[in-house]
Amino acid sequence: MKEQIEQIKVTSIEEVKNAKDLRELSDLKVKYLGKKGELTSVLRGMKDLRPEERPVIGELVNKVRDELNELFESIEKELQEAELARKLEEEKIDVTLPSNKAKRGSKHPLNRVIEEIEDLFVSMGYDVVDGPELETDEYCFERLNLPKGHPARDMQDSFYITPEHLLRTQTSAVQARVMMANEEKSPIRVIVPGKTYRREDDATHSHQFNQVEGLVIDKGITLAHLKGTLEVFMRKLLGDNTQLRFRPSYFPFTEPSYEVDVSCFKCGGKGCNLCKQTGWIELLGAGMVHPNVLKMNGYDPEKYSGFAFGTGLDRLAMFKYGITDMRYLYRNDVRFLTQFDQMDREGK
């Protein structure tokens, strides 16, 4: 048995010293020192020895094990250092090499227009608010004076999810939400940019588009406030010479209601192909908040009045940047999108 142990010692030392890497070393550890390793199995044979031999052999095994453990430790350290050195060499980075330039994205024209509008209205004391795109029939229509079966609903053919839920067809839905959420029924001054949906699909309409809504409620709000506000809004966006024209129209949630045209910014009102020779371009719906809407959403129409307006952001972006097809806005073609950075840089 003694010879057997000596033999194990000699071969194991030899093998451990020749281990090429940490993995091989750990295999060897299992082979010699593991639970089923060679030294351990020698210990198991001790029961067949004469009693006086047992302590001698036991001591020998322990000695060899200690020696081996020490050897494993030092070889492991050596191998670790070698590995680290190899890695450092292999993964050396030349910091002086030119980098792969990351291409900077550019802001989408719709977001540009939204940000410009937000900046303007925030500077006039408005809050920018949001509402759910999956809306209830109640907020999208009923609380805006459009009860079920109202003929004006036909203009907004919708994606219904359940009989009571739909993808909102207009950001006007948020008007009712803001009024209802205002517990003190205090004055309101908000704009609501956001996505809207209708069942439409042709060159100038998309099933998804963007609107921005405006709502002001306070004591003594008049049509003059609405006109002044829209003038500032349109001139900021489309140029100082922009003229506005209010045409009587109908929306269930405003009374009186208007469609608002702006003088054609391409020809200045003389008539061209953009404005179809009329000199005007229709851009907004607007009006004085209907007393029913105020009442239904908790505001006393005897005390308060308000104005509201809504406009399509896609059309606005198209006019502002001279984009001819609305679908470009949703294609995410980088060649299209990067042009607007350039326009900004040139101060257009």
Q: Could you tell me whether strands 208-218 and 188-197 are parallel, antiparallel, or unpaired per DSSP bridges?
A: antiparallel
CB of 290 to ligand DAH, least distance (A): 9
Q: Is 170 in the site for ligand DAH (CB under 6 A)?
A: yes
DSSP H or E stretch at residue 62:
helix 53-90
The SS3 of residue 35 is: coil
* Residues 234-273, mask of contacts with ligand DAH (x by CB under 6 A): -----------------x--x-------------------
> Which residue, 37 or 310, is less far from ligand DAH as judged by CB?
310
Q: Is 287 in the site for ligand DAH (CB under 6 A)?
A: yes
Q: Is 135 in the site for ligand DAH (CB under 6 A)?
A: no
Positions 198 through 237 that interact with ligand DAH (CB under 6 A): 213
Q: Is 286 in the site for ligand DAH (CB under 6 A)?
A: yes
Cα torsion 318, 323, 324, 327: sign: negative
Q: Is 12 in the site for ligand DAH (CB under 6 A)?
A: no
Choice from 172, 210, 229, 305 touching ligand DAH (CB under 6 A)? 172
- Whose CA is closest to 162, among 140, 143, 135, 198? 135
Please report how many Cα atoms fall inside a 13 Å half-sphere around the Cα of residue 18, on the Cβ side.
6
Cα torsion 221, 223, 229, 232: sign: negative
> Which residue, 39 or 213, is less far from ligand DAH as judged by CB?
213
Q: Is 305 in the site for ligand DAH (CB under 6 A)?
A: no
> Which residue, 135 or 213, is less far from ligand DAH as judged by CB?
213
Q: Could you tell me whether strands 244-249 and 254-263 are parallel, antiparallel, or unpaired per DSSP bridges?
A: antiparallel
Q: What is the DSSP string of 122-183?
A: HHTTPEE----SEEEHHHHTGGGT--TT-GGGGGG---EEETTEEE-S-TTHHHHHHHHH-T
CB 243 within 8 A of CB 264: no
- Structure-derived torsion over alpha carbons of residues 223, 226, 228, 233, reported in degrees to the nearest 10: -160
Please report how many Cα atoms fall inside a 13 Å half-sphere around the Cα of residue 101, on the Cβ side.
3
> Which residue, 136 or 172, is less far from ligand DAH as judged by CB?
172
Q: Is 308 in the site for ligand DAH (CB under 6 A)?
A: yes
CB of 285 to ligand DAH, least distance (A): 3
Q: Is 309 in the site for ligand DAH (CB under 6 A)?
A: yes
* Residues 147-166, mask of contacts with ligand DAH (x by CB under 6 A): --------------------
By the criterion CB under 6 A, which residues form the site for ligand DAH? 170, 172, 213, 251, 254, 285-287, 308-310
